[in-house]
C-alpha cells in the first residue's frame, strides 16, 4: 500500500458536495492507518488498527472478517470495486461518518462504517495532499502505460495467431477439396468400368477363359510281336467260380438227403432226378458264369496291363471235365417189404373160391 492516499467521498445528502479523506500508513500492517478528513471547514481525525478492523463491520453483515479486511484494503488503494460504494455523512464540528454499502439489483445493504471525530489541533496540509494526488496519478499513468503496452503485444500476437489459423483453415479446405475431387474421379472411373462390364454381360459376348485340360500322354507304339501260335492266358478266377458253382450244388444235395430221410418211399426218384439235373445245371452254370465274368476279367486286365499288339485269335478253351457228384453215385434205398396180414390165408382162400 502507498504511504499516502487522497480519496474523494461524496456526501449522502448532497451529490455535488464531497469530503476529502487522506489515508496514510501508521504501522507495519496494511490497515494500520491514520485518516484525516475535511468538508472544507474543519479537520476530522481517526486512527485504525489492523486488529480492530472487524469491529467496524455491522453486526448483521454476511461478510467474514477476511472478506471485510480485503474489501477495506481495496477501498483505500482506490481499486475499482464492483457493486461497492462509499458515502459520507457530515455533522458540522462533530464528526464525519464514512458508510460502505453494497448495492445489488437496486437493493442497498450496509456493510460497515468508519467515524472520524472533530479535532481542531490537527493541521490540514493541502499542499502535501496535492503532491500525494499527483504522485498517485503518475503511478497510475505508468501502470496504465505498462498494461497498455502488454495489451498491445497481446493483441499483435492474437492477430498473428488469427492469421496463422486462417492459413491453416484455408490449407485444410484446399486439401479437403483436392481429396474430394480425387475421390470423385476415382468413383467415376469405377462407375464407368462397372457399366462397361454390365454392357459386356448384357451382350453375351463375355467368354470365360477355358482352363487347359492336361493332355493324356499318348501310348508309345510297341513293336508288333511275331505271330506265333500260343494259347492265351486264361484268367485264374474261373476255378474259383467253378468251386462256387459246385458249392450250392452240394448244399442242394444235403437238403435233398434230409428230405429223403423224412419220406423214404419217394426219396429214390427225387434223388436221381435231382442228381441228374444238378450235374447238368452245375456245368451249365459254370459255363455261363465264365461267359458273364470273362468281360470283367478282360476289362481288369486291360486296365492293369499296358496295351498290347494285336494277336491272332485264340482257340476256344475246352470246358472243364465233369465232376462226379457224391449224391449221384449213391445207391437207391430199397423199399420196405410189406408186412403180411394176419388174415392173409383166409383172403387167399376166399379169392380162390
235-277, pLDDT tens digit by residue?
A: 555 454 545 545 444 555 555 454 444 444 444 444 444 444 4
| 279-304: pLDDT as tens digits | 444 444 444 444 444 444 444 444 44
Strand order in the sheet with 43-48: 4-10, 18-25, 33-38, 43-48, 107-118, 95-104, 84-91
Residue with cell 485504525: 48
- Specify whether the CB–CB gap between 270 and 255 falls below 8 A: no
Residue found under cell 493324356: 216
Is the pTM here over 0.95, yes or no? no
Q: CA-CA distance, 311 to 300, in Å (whole number)?
A: 18
Residue 293, classed as helix, strand or coil, is helix
Q: How many residues does the chain have?
A: 353
How confident is the model over 7-48, as pLDDT tens digits? 888 888 887 888 998 888 888 888 888 899 988 888 899 998
Task: Confirm if 140 and 133 have CB atoms less than 8 A apart.
Answer: no
For residues 98 and 115, what is the distance between their CA atoms, to the nearest angstrom?
A: 6
Amino acid at each position: 500500500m502507498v504511504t499516502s492516499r487522497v480519496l474523494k467521498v461524496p456526501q449522502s445528502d448532497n451529490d455535488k458536495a464531497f469530503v476529502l479523506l487522506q489515508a496514510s500508513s501508521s504501522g507495519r500492517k496494511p490497515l494500520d492507518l491514520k485518516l484525516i478528513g475535511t468538508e472544507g471547514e474543519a479537520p476530522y481525525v481517526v486512527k485504525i488498527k489492523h486488529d480492530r478492523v472487524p469491529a467496524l463491520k455491522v453486526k448483521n453483515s454476511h461478510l467474514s472478517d477476511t472478506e471485510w479486511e480485503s474489501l477495506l484494503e481495496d477501498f483505500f488503494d482506490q481499486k475499482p470495486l464492483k457493486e461497492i460504494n462509499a458515502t459520507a455523512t457530515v455533522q458540522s464540528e462533530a464528526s464525519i461518518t464514512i458508510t460502505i454499502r453494497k448495492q445489488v439489483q437496486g437493493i442497498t445493504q450496509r456493510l460497515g462504517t468508519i467515524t472520524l471525530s472533530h479535532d481542531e489541533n490537527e493541521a490540514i496540509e493541502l499542499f502535501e495532499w496535492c503532491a500525494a494526488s499527483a504522485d498517485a496519478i503518475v503511478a497510475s499513468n505508468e501502470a496504465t502505460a505498462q498494461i497498455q503496452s502488454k495489451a498491445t503485444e497481446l493483441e499483435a500476437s492474437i492477430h498473428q495467431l488469427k492469421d496463422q489459423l486462417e492459413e491453416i483453415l484455408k490449407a485444410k479446405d484446399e486439401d479437403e477439396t483436392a481429396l474430394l475431387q480425387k475421390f470423385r474421379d476415382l468413383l467415376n472411373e469405377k462407375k464407368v468400368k462397372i457399366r462397361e462390364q454390365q454392357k459386356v454381360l448384357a451382350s453375351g459376348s463375355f467368354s470365360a477363359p477355358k482352363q487347359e485340360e492336361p493332355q493324356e500322354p499318348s501310348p508309345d507304339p510297341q513293336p508288333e510281336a511275331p505271330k506265333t501260335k500260343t494259347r492265351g492266358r486264361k484268367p485264374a478266377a474261373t476255378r474259383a467260380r467253378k468251386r462256387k458253382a459246385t458249392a450250392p450244388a452240394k448244399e442242394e444235395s444235403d437238403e435233398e438227403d434230409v428230405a429223403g430221410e423224412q419220406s423214404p418211399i419217394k426219396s429214390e426218384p427225387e434223388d436221381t432226378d435231382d442228381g441228374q439235373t444238378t450235374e447238368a445245371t452245375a456245368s451249365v452254370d459254370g459255363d455261363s458264369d465264365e461267359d458273364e465274368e470273362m468281360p470283367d476279367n478282360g476289362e481288369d486286365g486291360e486296365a492293369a496291363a499296358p496295351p498290347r499288339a494285336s494277336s491272332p485269335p485264340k482257340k476256344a478253351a475246352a470246358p472243364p471235365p465233369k465232376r462226379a457228384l457224391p449224391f449221384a453215385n449213391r445207391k437207391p434205398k430199397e423199399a420196405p417189404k410189406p408186412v403180411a396180414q394176419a388174415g392173409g390165408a383166409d383172403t387167399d382162400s376166399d379169392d380162390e373160391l
